[in-house]
């Protein structure tokens, strides 16, 4: 991920402080995969298993920002992106986790057909498109799953930026899904939608640094996959993603 600063040679101390504040905030939406490794080169939680638990984490306590009318994240969707031309299945079954307090059963993940053709990009409820972040575009298709509103504050929420957190300062909702993948060499997950502000809808999406991905059917060793050094098809995939990231 590239950080582009302004052209001014000198920034005021106050400006630096304001710019730095969001870096320490817990994202409103995050993704995490139990047992996955964090790939720093793509800023993504990666697992080579074809069966795993995917967490969609909503920091409901934090969603009063922007003068929200009601705390919560509404009409949350999961996009599952895969390489166009590959044929397989992606199933998400609601479950819970034993790693922390998660008393609520997740809403069913309802597949939304008719979306996700090759080269298209998921849309949020305000009409804006999800940032491509090196995933969406020609050569990529995707499925959308609807998982409902996040309004509960029954689970502790921390920042899953590159490791399982050691502190959980906020309260929110965690939807956990047993994911099963067949046929695909890569499935990339994003979570997104909106909060209700006083006069408008404010779209949200899990930051690129909090994405999740399964690479279950690539034969190279897991250590090579996580370092982005796989050969053959996985190397071409990594090159395509890096080039597209640099363009956006």
- Per-residue pLDDT of 117-168, as tens digits, reads 999 999 988 888 999 999 999 999 999 999 999 999 999 999 999 999 999 9
Which candidate, 188, 185, 208, 204, places its Cα nearest to that of 196?
204
Around Cβ 227, how many Cβ atoms within 10 Å? 14
Which candidate, 37, 42, 32, places its Cα nearest to that of 240?
42
Express each pLDDT in 20-69 by its tens digit.
334 458 999 999 999 999 999 888 999 999 999 999 999 999 887 655 67
Question: Which residues are within 8 A (CB) of 219 and not within 5 positions of it... i.e. 6 or more apart?
Answer: none
Q: Find out whether 240 and 83 touch, Cβ atoms under 8 Å.
A: no
Around Cβ 232, how many Cβ atoms within 10 Å? 10
Is the pTM above the cut of 0.85? no
Q: Find out whether 8 and 25 touch, Cβ atoms under 8 Å.
A: no
Query: Could you tell me the residue ranges of all domains in the chain?
Result: 25-247
**Hey, what are 134's tokens?**
């090196």
- Angle 193-136-124 from CA coordinates, rounded to 5°: 15
Higher pLDDT: 228 or 113? It is 113
Around Cβ 170, how many Cβ atoms within 10 Å? 17
Q: What is the pLDDT at residue 241? A: 52
Look at the block and give the residue holding tokens 């899904």: 177
Higher pLDDT: 243 or 36? It is 36
């Amino acid at each position: 991920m590239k950080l582009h600063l302004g052209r001014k040679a000198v920034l005021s101390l106050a400006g630096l402080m304001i710019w730095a504040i969001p870096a320490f905030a817990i994202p409103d939406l995050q993704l995490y995969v139990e047992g996955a490794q964090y790939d720093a080169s793509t800023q993504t939680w990666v697992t080579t298993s074809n069966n795993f638990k995917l967490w969609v984490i909503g920091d409901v306590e934090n969603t009063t920002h922007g003068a929200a009318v009601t705390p919560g994240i509404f009409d949350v969707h999961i996009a599952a992106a895969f390489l166009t031309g590959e044929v397989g299945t992606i199933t998400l079954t609601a479950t819970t986790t034993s790693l922390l307090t998660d008393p609520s059963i997740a809403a069913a993940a309802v597949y939304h057909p008719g979306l996700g053709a090759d080269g298209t990009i998921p849309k949020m409820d305000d009409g804006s498109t999800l940032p491509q972040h090196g995933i969406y575009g020609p050569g990529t298709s995707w499925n959308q799953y609807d998982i409902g509103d996040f309004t509960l504050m029954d689970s502790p929420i921390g920042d899953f930026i590159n490791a399982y957190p050691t502190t959980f300062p906020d309260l929110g909702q965690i939807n956990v899904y047993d994911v099963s993948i067949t046929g695909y060499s890569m499935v990339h997950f994003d979570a997104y939608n909106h909060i209700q502000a006083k006069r408008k809808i404010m779209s949200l999406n899990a930051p690129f640094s909090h994405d999740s991905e399964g690479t279950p059917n690539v034969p190279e060793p897991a250590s090579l996959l996580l370092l982005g050094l796989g050969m053959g098809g996985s190397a071409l995939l990594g090159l395509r993603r890096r080039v597209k990231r640099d363009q956006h």
